[in-house]
Chains A and B, each alone.
Chain A
């Protein structure tokens, strides 16, 4: 069974809600990267408009909240603000992160237990940190995750 089938709630493919979740999550990641780059650059929206050729109104809309920004607009803003390029990576969950766990292909439920994630910042110097997270309702905190441009992978060994 394909991994994607383990996390969708029908055998006919993802629902409108599932697709919307995927889109909005990705928009949120892109928005966060852009907002941070712009804020840290100290550049005004006017200066960014000058440097990118994008009008200020478009820049303002792009920064205000996550939305379906064009990749070229994102690329120009990131590069103009910080000289940065995007590194895109896939994150494919093997099972739902929260709540009950359904191993692909079995339909069985497992009780949630402690899970271990490796967090890797997507930058030129890869910096991997090991964090553990509980899927229950405890109040344990993640030790560190300070940037949204991070790839979080689940590992089998704790």
Chain B
């Protein structure tokens, strides 16, 4: 089975949601999220600090879906702390981390997943950064298990260069 068909089936089964931009409803890039992640990231937002953090998540997702330029790094061990999208260690696993570092006075959030095609991302796990602590290996294991649960033996989309994953990016090397 192709990954395209697998994604379609997951959407049809409502295990994944094709999330467009919250504001303008477009998908210049495709973003597929779990229902749990979707519930966190759309308006209206609460009048609380948590509401502000969830607004940051929604704004990040909107930027992705509207094909805003993103800063990326393929080296998980050498990247600016506020890089927007980065490979997860181990690189051969082909998982990536959407790194939401807003609001500035918060620890931020991490959404892990993999690409299903160029400009198509499947987001499967979410954590507030303070809950991850230093358990990075645990997060890699978690996303690997989640991907296996959703896609079985079908691995994430991969490519030789960043162009294979994303258009409209600024890469830190």
Contacts and interface: CB of A to CB of B under 8 A. Distances in A.
Interface of A: 7-10, 15-18, 20-21, 24-25, 28-29, 31-32, 35-36, 38-39, 63-67, 91, 93, 96-99, 115, 117, 119, 131, 133-135, 137-142, 145-148, 152
A72 to B, nearest CB: 20
A97 B26 CA distance: 9
A36 B69 contact: yes
Contact of A133 (B19, B25, B54): B25
B42 to A, nearest CB: 6
A25 B62 contact: yes
Interface in B99-117: 101-104
Nearest to A67: B104
A102 to B, nearest CB: 10
Contacts of A147: 67
A131 B25 CA distance: 11
Interface stretch (B6-14, B127-135, B138-146, B148-156): B6-14
B103 A20 contact: yes
Interface in B1-39: 7-8, 11, 14, 17-28, 30
Q: How many B residues are at the interface, by size bracket?
A: 35 or more
Given A7-B43, A137-B14, A97 B20 contact: yes
Interface of B: 7-8, 11, 14, 17-28, 30, 42-49, 51-52, 54-56, 58-60, 62-63, 66-69, 71, 80, 82-84, 101-104, 168, 170
A119 B66 CA distance: 12
Contact of B44 (A9, A65, A97): A9
A15 B46 CA distance: 6
A20 B55 CA distance: 6
A114 B104 CA distance: 37
A31 B69 contact: yes
A96 B21 CA distance: 11
Contacts of B17: 137
A97 B168 CA distance: 24
A142 B67 CA distance: 11
A17 B47 contact: yes
A24 B102 contact: yes
A141 B30 contact: yes
B22 A17 contact: no
Contacts of B170: 35, 38-39, 63
Given A20-B56, A139-B18, A97 B102 contact: no
A25 B59 contact: yes
A67 B44 CA distance: 22
B106 to A, nearest CB: 11
